[in-house]
Amino acid sequence: MEGGELPGLLVNDIGGTHGILQSHVTFLKKHFSLITMKEFLENKKQMSKKVQAMYLWWHKPVVDRELLQSLPNLKVIANSGVGMDHLDQKLIASFGVKMANCPRAVSSSTADTGMALLLASARRLVEVYHITISSSMEYCEADILGVKVAGATLGIIGMGSIGYKIALRAKAFEMNILYHNRTQRKAEEEQAVGATYCKTIDSLLQQADFVMVVVSLTPQTHKLIGKRELELMKPTATLINISRGAVVDQEALVTALQSGVIGAAALDVTYPEPLPRDHPLLKLKNVIITPHLGIRTDKAIFMITEEAVENILAALNGLPMPSEVLPR
């Protein structure tokens, strides 16, 4: 920018429900001139030329053709997470704008969330919590019997960086690990976590006591787990989804849980998010639902912003972006 002015970074807001965290502002202002959507919309003529980068925080601001057309100097969009399914990547690329996500920052915290859901479901923590705080504190032993995790079989669908870290955690819990992935991991990587490759999802579903879904949402994975797949699972099995809600057919899942086709589900993602308050999933005792906790730890959230800044600065300086996402 002229006169050494910092490049403009468009963000949805600062603070609030859909704004970047106040605690990240000082760090971001070292590198950019922050422009909120409110400031941009109030003075489009002046602000439009200043914006060179955009930082999406929990999918906001919404990137559409109108916004892209109003930002002639936009060079890069950085997303605060891994999933890019909320973006029209081909549209963005047609404007010559690069894209980046933050895979390095999110894998450990997301893997922790997956294991937390597995353990909470296995030991029925939500149910027993409500029993414990109830006025009567009366229960039958059968009401609190859980599932033993050690020695159980975990099937991981999607063995990328997050899936692999889940396998590392599961090994520590003495679980047997199966996985299905588009490509098989190297033999030494499999041996390090004691994982066995399944060529088909069907084979994994039939054997697993816990099924963990850790895939990106694409046209190929939309409703990857549907009625047929659920019926392949053991009637005692638990489905855990930490990827995207639409990877699982929710109507089929409700039916499977109500009819005993599978034993339980633990979901960090749904569609929509949040679910309508009258949705049947919210009424089932054999379901745990969390509000897309995934990466939400103080350290991981700041690492995301650091990774986003690294990508943006690389793009603005004509350097390779560490986490560039190519349109598909």
Annotated catalytic, 292? yes
Sign of CA pseudo-dihedral 179, 185, 189, 190? positive
Burial zone of 210 (CB within 10 Å; 0-12 exposed, 13-18 middle, 19+ buried): buried
Q: Of residues 189, 231, 251, 273, which has the active-site annotation?
A: 273
Active site includes 141? no
The answer to whether 212 touches 182, Cβ cutoff 8 Å, is no
With beta carbons less than 8 A apart as the criterion, state whether 117 and 288 touch: yes
Q: Which of the following is catalytic: 292, 296, 324, 328?
A: 292
Show Cβ contacts of residue 220 under 8 Å, excluding neighbours closer than 6 positions.
none
- CA 312 – CA 97 distance, rounded (Å): 11
Element (H, E) at 322: none
CA pair distance 236, 224, nearest whole angstrom: 20
φ/ψ of residue 38, rounded to 5: -65, -45
C-alpha span between 60 and 260 (Å, rounded): 39
Give the H/E segment covering residue 304.
helix 298-316
Give the gyration radius of the chain's Cα atoms: 22
- Tell me the one-letter amino acid at 136: S
Overall residue count recorded for the chain in this entry: 328
Which one is catalytic: 169, 244, 307, 310? 244
Residues carrying an active site annotation: 244, 273, 292
